[in-house]
Structure 1
Amino acid sequence: MRELIAQHCICCGSDHLAKSAAVLMPFVALRVFGHEPVQITAEWGLRDLREGTAYTLCNSLQCQECGALFLDYRFTDGQLAALYHNYRDVHYNAQRIRFEPGYVNVVEHYHQRAAYIAEVEAWLAPRLPQAPAVLDWGGDTGINSVFRDSNSLLHIHDISGVELVAGAERVDLSQIGQQHYDLVTCSQVLEHVSFPAELVERMLPALGPQTLLYLEVPHEALVREHPDSLALAPLKRHWHEHVNFFCEVSMRRMLERLGLEIVDVLRLPVDVGWTRGEVLGVLVRLA
């Protein structure tokens, strides 16, 4: 059963959660709920409320078993579709810049291939054929698909409907189980979705006995700066489009629950133009 206000951990299923109040950033609140910040003034005539700016409230939750940190709201499919409608097109960018003027410095970088992808390819290559058959789940245009220029095929499964890079082919769920893949990837997606374990489970029909699955998420600064801490909820005061913050333990627990075997883990510093950070990559296969 899907919990739209989370009562259990999204990774390990535990109900041992720490909770702390936070706010949902205005751009996300507008797209998901239709909320805009509002000024409560004396003219409202509200006896028991203080005057000031009101934002959409939420809670930060952290699992005390595996360390996963996440937003309590679990958006519906329709709400996620509204949040990512026309993702990064002119209207999306303008609307976001209205709330976040600094976003104007980010936009141009999304149209360039991330430099760190070459390092991911180098890490994966010794385990794969020279020209692997690749499925990129949630790969957008394919601009950042691994082995984009050295594959035997590149399939992309993505809801966006955007134009793909040369050589890539769009596939739907019915086609995925009919094709052999050497590598299935899902990069920079699980941090955005309400039910990450459910999404990974949907990928399993694409995995054969020899197929490798590479899952990549941001290793968020808050998690890196407080390794192994179970007291992160009070430190996470706002939520944006990344509604899940993973650590290695939480990723392991989620994937093991799905019957997957951990092959290796990658922690890679990255510089994506407007910010520096780190990615956490987990390589798995069917157990």
Structure 2
Amino acid sequence: MKHYDVYTERAKELFQLLSPWVSTRTRIMDFGGAQGAILEYFVRAGFDCHVVDYGCRKPLPGIYYRGPDLQGVAEEYDLAICNHVLEHVADPIGELLSVRKALSENGIIFVEVPLELWNKQHPRPPEPVTHINWFSVPSLRYCLKAAGFDVLDVHYSSFRTYSAKRGLAVRAIARKSKAPGRNEADLSPDISELLLLKEIQRGKVGALMENFVSLPPDWATRAQSGEKGDE
């Protein structure tokens, strides 16, 4: 598959996934979406689509380039897409707070990040653009809640990589809450989710883990007991 085919497959899947959350009046912002290729099917359907990305100078036809960042943007969008962005940024919660400000009341955000399990090493094969954050379901939920979102759904999934292979991912859909806040009791990771990740490795999608460095065999036991592994 060529890059165009990969983008088209991703765009179609995203459109199908988010269709229940949009209407013809929905204004969509792709945050960090380069030229906006992931919005292809939304553009075809006539949605008002914008892209925000410091590296974009000429978006694809039908997409408006809003600017390099969200400075000065407030409560203008109904749906924000943050597709494979948070793994690259120094402050994921800060970026999510910026996106939250750009959303209208009860606006929706879709986030997808790669699931790259690692133990003392970066995942392999290496990405051309450095990943500096590694997420799981509990950690992505934490970031969204800390940034003032009510998480509606978060789960493990998969996506097509640019080399046409399948990779693991964490996906979330969340709604803008009334006010951002940090309640550490509410934000604590659920150990059942950590154990679920162990089960995923054993299941049908376990084969997808072959490109990644495995966690130590007793990692779930350590997590449950609160024991920290070697730094």
User: What is the TM-score when the length of structure 1 is the normalising length?
Assistant: 0.53
- 2:139 is aligned to 250
Distance 1:187 1:164, change over 3 A: same
Is 1:201 aligned to 2:97, yes or no? yes
In structure 2, which of residues 2, 10, 28 is the aligned counterpart of residue 116 of structure 1? 10
Is 1:166 aligned to 2:52, yes or no? no
Q: Distance in 2 between matches of 1:264 and 1:151?
A: 26
Bigger helix fraction: 2
* RMSD over aligned Cα atoms: 2.6
Q: Distance in 2 between matches of 1:123 and 1:137?
A: 18
Greater relative contact order, per chain length (Cα 8 Å cut-off, separation 6+): 1
- 1:177 is aligned to 74
The count of corresponding residues between Structure 1 and Structure 2 is 170
Counterpart of 1:195 in structure 2: which amino acid?
Answer: D
Q: Give, in angstroms, the shift of residue 113 of structure 1.
A: 2.1
TM alignment of 1:1-287, pairs within 5 A: 109=3, 113-130=7-24, 132-145=26-39, 147-172=42-67, 173-174=70-71, 176-177=73-74, 179=76, 181-220=77-116, 223=117, 232-236=118-122, 241-272=130-161, 274=163, 275-287=165-177
Q: Per-residue displacement from partner, 1:192-251 (whole Å, max 9, x unpaired)?
A: 11111111111121122221011111122xx3xxxxxxxx43354787511111000001
Q: Give, in angstroms, the shift of residue 117 of structure 1.
A: 2.6
What SS does structure 2 have at the residue aligned with 1:203? helix
What SS does structure 1 have at the residue aligned with 2:167? strand
Distance 1:283 1:137, change over 3 A: same
Distance 1:271 1:259, change over 3 A: closer
Contact 1:218 1:278 in 2 (8 A): yes
Q: Distance in 2 between matches of 1:145 and 1:176?
A: 20
Instruction: Give 5+ residue unaligned stretches, structure 1.
Output: 1-105, 224-231
Instruction: Give 5+ residue unaligned stretches, structure 2.
Output: 178-231
Q: Distance in 1 between matches of 2:29 and 2:46?
A: 10
Q: Distance in 2 between matches of 1:160 and 1:282?
A: 25
Bigger-Rg structure (1/2): 1
Question: Stretches of 4+ moved more than 6 A in 1?
Answer: none
Q: Per-residue displacement from partner, 1:50-96 (whole Å, max 9, x unpaired)?
A: xxxxxxxxxxxxxxxxxxxxxxxxxxxxxxxxxxxxxxxxxxxxxxx
Contact 1:131 1:151 in 2 (8 A): no
Q: Give, in angstroms, the shift of residue 279 of structure 1.
A: 2.6
Contact 2:108 2:175 in 1 (8 A): yes
